[in-house]
């Protein structure tokens, strides 16, 4: 399922100024590629700078070193080619579900008839058809994230970015959302880069897992989930019994443990 290179990150570094004129290096020399139609997960311990990498892909932060390209063009600023879904809920309270999903298209001057058709399609895709005219305050957390996903996809980005999108949801809703992502991938064939620290989530969703080390974040391992044999597993429980799953989970847990927790590092 890996086609041409879609996103390439080469030697990406990022340091932030801190008090006393010093700099803290969050990310160092990050290299990886994401291919067409691939689901790529940036995995790593908390505070490893994986979210910073994602924000740089979005163009919301500038790297202090290195170069990032999408479809051969250097990423310089945020634009509609790289739509982002955040962990916190970002549906606009003052717009109905329908208007939320149409929002990006409206910004980009899509005519209203086409806007409505495309919004309908993606609202159906995320199974919110019955809630088309509801306002976000009336929706559950999982539904709000589905609005955010539909809104981003309806805008037809070249790359879908997700920053721990299911982190705030309860366990049952989370795996429902993960299964929804699989069906979205099958329907739309979009390319996704997602940040998570949840190993199970990474193994279920990812075609490629880029493991980022702790502080300063750099690529420790770039793995493909070959044990799935190039197929996407539709149900969360089914992936557990695929041969090779347990081994890969164990390897990643080892990596996680070697990186240690933040408390141990500071002690």
Binding site for other proteins (CB under 8 A): 58-60, 78-80, 82-84, 86, 88, 90, 92-95, 103-104, 107-108, 134-138, 148, 151-152, 155, 157, 161
Closest separation in Å from C-beta 265 to other proteins = 28
Closest separation in Å from C-beta 111 to other proteins = 16
Closest separation in Å from C-beta 131 to other proteins = 12
The 10 Å Cβ neighbour count of residue 216 is 19
Closest separation in Å from C-beta 14 to other proteins = 17
Give every CB contact of residue 229 below 8 A, 6+ residues apart in sequence.
none
CA 40/CA 57 separation, integer angstroms: 13
Three-state DSSP class for residue 22: strand
Q: Which tokens is 75 given?
A: 């990423």
CA 58/CA 111 separation, integer angstroms: 26
Query: Quick one: 159 or 233, whose CB is closer to other proteins?
Result: 159
- If we measure between CA atoms, which residue out of 63, 67, 52 comes closest to residue 10? 67
CA 108/CA 227 separation, integer angstroms: 41
Closest separation in Å from C-beta 135 to other proteins = 4
- If we measure between CA atoms, which residue out of 126, 133, 130 comes closest to residue 98? 133
Q: Taking a C-beta distance cutoff of 8 angstroms, is the pair 115, 105 a contact?
A: yes
Query: Quick one: 169 or 209, whose CB is closer to other proteins?
Result: 169
Closest separation in Å from C-beta 84 to other proteins = 4
Query: Quick one: 2 or 158, whose CB is closer to other proteins?
Result: 158
Query: Quick one: 123 or 219, whose CB is closer to other proteins?
Result: 123
Q: Taking a C-beta distance cutoff of 8 angstroms, is the pair 14, 26 a contact?
A: yes
Closest separation in Å from C-beta 86 to other proteins = 5
For the stretch 29-50, what's the b/e string if a residue is b when 16 or more beta carbons lie within 10 angstroms of its beta carbon? ebebbbbbbbbbbbbbbeebbb
Three-state DSSP class for residue 40: strand
Q: Taking a C-beta distance cutoff of 8 angstroms, is the pair 14, 27 a contact?
A: yes
Q: What is the DSSP letter of 267?
A: -
């Amino acid at each position: 399922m890996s086609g041409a290179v879609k996103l390439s990150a080469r030697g990406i570094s990022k340091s932030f100024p801190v008090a006393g004129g010093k700099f803290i290096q969050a990310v160092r020399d990050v290299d990886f590629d994401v291919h067409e139609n691939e689901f790529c997960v940036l995995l790593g311990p908390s505070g490893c700078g994986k979210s910073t990498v994602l924000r740089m892909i979005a163009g919301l932060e500038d790297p202090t070193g290195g170069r990032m390209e999408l479809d051969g063009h250097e990423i310089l600023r945020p634009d509609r080619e790289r739509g982002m879904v955040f962990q916190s809920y970002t549906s606009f309270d003052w717009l109905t579900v329908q208007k939320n999903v149409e929002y990006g298209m409206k910004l980009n001057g899509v005519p209203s008839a086409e806007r409505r058709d495309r919004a309908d399609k993606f609202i159906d895709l995320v199974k919110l058809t019955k809630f088309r005219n509801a306002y976000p305050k009336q929706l559950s957390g999982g539904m709000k994230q589905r609005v955010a996903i539909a809104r981003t996809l309806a805008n037809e980005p070249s790359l879908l970015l997700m920053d721990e999108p299911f982190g705030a949801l309860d366990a049952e809703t989370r795996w429902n959302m993960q299964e929804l992502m699989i069906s979205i991938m099958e329907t739309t064939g979009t390319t996704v880069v997602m940040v998570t620290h949840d190993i199970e989530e990474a193994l279920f969703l990812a075609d490629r897992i880029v493991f980022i080390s702790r502080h300063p974040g750099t690529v420790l391992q770039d793995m493909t989930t070959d044990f799935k044999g190039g197929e996407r597993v539709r149900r969360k429980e089914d992936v557990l019994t695929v041969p090779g799953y347990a081994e890969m989970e164990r390897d990643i847990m080892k990596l996680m443990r070697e990186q240690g927790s933040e408390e141990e590092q500071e002690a």
